[in-house]
Structure 1
Amino acid sequence: MGGAFEFAGDGTQAGTHMVEPAGGAMAWPLAQRAAVYRAIFERRDMRHFAGGEVATAVLHRLLLAAHHAPSVGFMQPWRLIRVRDAALRQRLHALVEQERQRTAEALGERGAAFLRLKVQGILDAAEVWVVALAEGRESHVFGRRTMPFMDVASAACAIQNMWLAARAEGVGLGWVSIFEPAAVAAVLDMPAGALPIAILCLGPVERFDDAPMLQQAGWAQRLPLAEVVFEDRWGRPCAWVGRAPNPRDLVAAVQPGCADMGPRRIVCLTEETTEWLYLLGQEHRIVGISGYTVRPRRARQEKPRVSAFLSAKIDQLLALKPDHVFGFSDLQANIAAELIRAGVAVTVFNQRSVEQILAMLAQVAALVGCSDVAAGHLAAMRARLQGMQEAVAQRLAAGQRRPRVYFEEWDEPLISAIRWVSELIGIAGGEDIFPELATQPHGKDRIVHDPQEVVRRAPDVIIGSWCGKKFRPERVAQRPGWSDIPAVRHGQVFEIKSADILQPGPAALTDGVEQLHRIITEWMDRHGHDRTV
């Protein structure tokens, strides 16, 4: 793309030249502008989802973003319906499939190619929302007398707001418009005059592609900017537009980057450093990972697996010629010692608390020259934890109480929550029933020797995470005397996957604590006022 992209006064260059506008004094700080451009350029119309769920707090932020969209005459025509009922989802899916077939017929020669495209994820997405125009829109004349379709344009702004916010949150969103509006309106009991315009599929995804799906499939390509921007007359070129900047150059120019320093051939003996390096955009430095790695999923396809937790294939590991190895806990001391004797630089972390996890992440980032990039991630994690505490404080002020929580890390023997999990339970709104055990770093020192002690402490919520083994709530309920536990009586027995909560890294501070917060706050909202529960 040639030239140099520059924000005046920033001294940041990359890509194509761009001059700061006259209103530059009102501009946001560099990193904040970068986030806006990145969300715009990396937004994707998602069709493939990875299951899971979207935390209530995240949904709330996305809905607020949608509701703060501009609208002609401030009419706010959008109405959003959350579709949770499985039968309703099936009916919406069937309606989309009907229209998909009709669209293929209407496309003629391109019909077969169209049918090969995945055009919706209604049955796969964690969330389905229908966006509709409200009834009675005819009364809004301001801005619509000659252009009545501006209600649709306004609602589209709300969807775009939600879309960009979802990308910033790392959540996929796909807009499905292949349906007969009257049929969808009938399924959802909409009043006369209401008009559905979008079915939004929302949820976790495995990845965001570098380019839009239809572009990758060869259906269409993005037009050059110069072909869609005119001056004074239709079709008259706008001379100053020139060649458009590459979006990747634009984002790179205004966001913090990583320095070209530090180790370049890293082996990660546990998952948390692998996930963190991927989040920092430094996965190219990783040459080997743990066999237990599941986050991110792509790492298992991209990197050789050379270790378990207590053992490693030392010969295979050394054959990768690592210049640094990251490990976790004293339990990997023997692996570390053998690698050190072989001349490899080894850093073994021993993080057990939330603050120690955050410190570990900062240290890894510094080693690979990514402190500035990491600062944004760490600030977001801290802000989210603070937001959870504030949400809990509001419930406590309204008279709700914290639930007593028993977290089970293993079942034979019973092992209770490690320190960071215990702390996250508190942040999420609960009370760990074995706080005295949580301070012990080793599982053998957190054994609950008498299962009846759990009965005596009467947890309101039980959460199992059997460290790589599937949690069985029915087995928990069948333990002698456990049917009297409030959590068992009221069906408050849940699983959080060990990869999400027992990984002392990004997972525990994001997906893990989000699940804790959802489980605990739902209990508070349902039972928190009842002191007899």
Structure 2
Amino acid sequence: MQFNITDTEILRNIILHRRDVRGNRFLSTPVSTTVMDQLLFAFEHAPSVGYSQPWQLIVIEKETTKQAVKNIFIESNDHERVHFDSDKASQYQRLKLEGIVEAPVNIAVFYTPPGQPVLGQTMMPEAGLYSVVCGIQNMWLMARSLNVGMGWVSILEPEKIKEVLHVPSHLQLVAYLCIGYVSKFDELPELELLGWERRKNQAEFIHHETFKQS
């Protein structure tokens, strides 16, 4: 299959306008089974090292489960904020960093460590984790193409999440995702709009032939 310049421009715009959505943006509008099927289709067709497909996903819609996860977030968030200096801590306090109970659907994504050698993973074991992240990015772009918001919550204690979801001990939590329709997508990433960080220029991270110290 060959693609044309119009396809390329559409993909460029999807990438450019993908956003990490917070709870103050999610609507209560249900996400249909048809849409969820498309998101999961995008995930399962991500590349994986050695074609290992080392992922397990739990789709969560029950309010009781979401609230249990939200409680873990609240506790984890108290530990997170102490790592920032006074200026950042004040700004941190005002940030809405999740949408666990607001989003109609949550998805917990886990990595399954291999029990035997995996092609392409023996020298770089972390490539298995990277495969799972490729699936997340696939799903994120598909969601944006469907005008569905997605947020990645990383301020969570993984072992407590596994306990709430009855996940086997050997699995590793990679992401906790909040999914739903939104009131709007910001023109720029929220943390860029708020001045938390700036977007780097390519000259700051792209090198040619060898690494150049700045």
State the TM-score bracket (shorter-chain normalisation): over 0.9
Aligned partner of 2:11 in structure 1 is 36
After TM superposition, give the deviation of residue 236 of structure 1 in Å: 6.9
Deviations 1:459-494 (A, max 9, x none): xxxxxxxxxxxxxxxxxxxxxxxxxxxxxxxxxxxx
Which residue of 108, 113, 116 corresponds with 1:130? 108
Aligned partner of 1:112 in structure 2 is 90
Distance (whole Å) between structure 1 residues aligned to residue 140 and residue 200 of structure 2: 22
Aligned partner of 2:21 in structure 1 is 46
Deviations 1:163-204 (A, max 9, x none): 000000000000111111111111111112011111110001
Distance (whole Å) between structure 2 residues aligned to residue 140 and residue 118 of structure 1: 42
Structure with larger RCO (C-alpha < 8 A, sep 6+)? 2
Aligned partner of 2:201 in structure 1 is 224
Which residue of 125, 139, 143 corresponds with 2:120? 143
Deviations 1:98-146 (A, max 9, x none): 1111010122322222121111000101111111112x42424322223
Deviations 1:429-481 (A, max 9, x none): xxxxxxxxxxxxxxxxxxxxxxxxxxxxxxxxxxxxxxxxxxxxxxxxxxxxx
TM-score, length basis structure 2: 0.93
Distance (whole Å) between structure 2 residues aligned to residue 116 and residue 71 of structure 1: 38
Name the amino acid aligned to 1:97. Answer: I
Cα separation, partners in 2 of 1:140 and 1:91, compared to 1, 3 Å: farther
TM-score, length basis structure 1: 0.38
After TM superposition, give the deviation of residue 224 of structure 1 in Å: 0.5
Runs (4 or more) in structure 1 with deviation over 6 Å come to none
Distance (whole Å) between structure 1 residues aligned to residue 39 and residue 118 of structure 2: 29
Aligned partner of 2:45 in structure 1 is 68
Matches within 5 A, 1:322-333: none
Secondary structure of the residue aligned to 1:146 is coil
Q: Does 1:192 align with 2:169?
A: yes
Structure 1 unmatched ranges of 5 or more: 1-25, 238-533
Name the amino acid aligned to 1:151. Answer: G
Distance (whole Å) between structure 1 residues aligned to residue 68 and residue 133 of structure 2: 24
Name the amino acid aligned to 2:136. Answer: I
Which residue of 204, 208, 224 corresponds with 2:185? 208
Aligned partner of 1:81 in structure 2 is 58
After TM superposition, give the deviation of residue 161 of structure 1 in Å: 0.2
Distance (whole Å) between structure 1 residues aligned to residue 41 and residue 96 of structure 2: 29
After TM superposition, give the deviation of residue 51 of structure 1 in Å: 1.4
Q: Is the 8 A contact 1:131 1:199 kept in 2?
A: yes
After TM superposition, give the deviation of residue 27 of structure 1 in Å: 5.2
After TM superposition, give the deviation of residue 97 of structure 1 in Å: 1.3
Cα separation, partners in 2 of 1:224 and 1:27, compared to 1, 3 Å: farther
After TM superposition, give the deviation of residue 37 of structure 1 in Å: 0.7
Name the amino acid aligned to 2:128. Answer: D
Q: How many residues align?
A: 211
Cα separation, partners in 2 of 1:145 and 1:121, compared to 1, 3 Å: same
Q: Does 1:172 align with 2:149?
A: yes
Secondary structure of the residue aligned to 1:234 is coil
Matches within 5 A, 1:264-275: none
Q: Is the 8 A contact 1:95 1:184 kept in 2?
A: yes
Which of structures 1 and 2 has the bigger CA Rg? 1
Cα separation, partners in 2 of 1:60 and 1:229, compared to 1, 3 Å: same
Distance (whole Å) between structure 2 residues aligned to residue 112 and residue 138 of structure 1: 45
Secondary structure of the residue aligned to 1:233 is coil
Name the amino acid aligned to 1:88. Answer: T
Matches within 5 A, 1:19-30: 28-30=3-5
Secondary structure of the residue aligned to 1:162 is helix
Structure 2 unmatched ranges of 5 or more: none
Secondary structure of the residue aligned to 2:175 is strand
Matches within 5 A, 1:177-326: 177-235=154-212
Q: Is the 8 A contact 2:56 2:109 kept in 1?
A: yes
Deviations 1:6-36 (A, max 9, x none): xxxxxxxxxxxxxxxxxxxx85122211211
Q: Is the 8 A contact 1:104 1:112 kept in 2?
A: no
Q: Is the 8 A contact 1:73 1:140 kept in 2?
A: no
Q: Does 1:163 align with 2:140?
A: yes
Distance (whole Å) between structure 2 residues aligned to residue 152 and residue 177 of structure 1: 15
Secondary structure of the residue aligned to 2:89 is helix
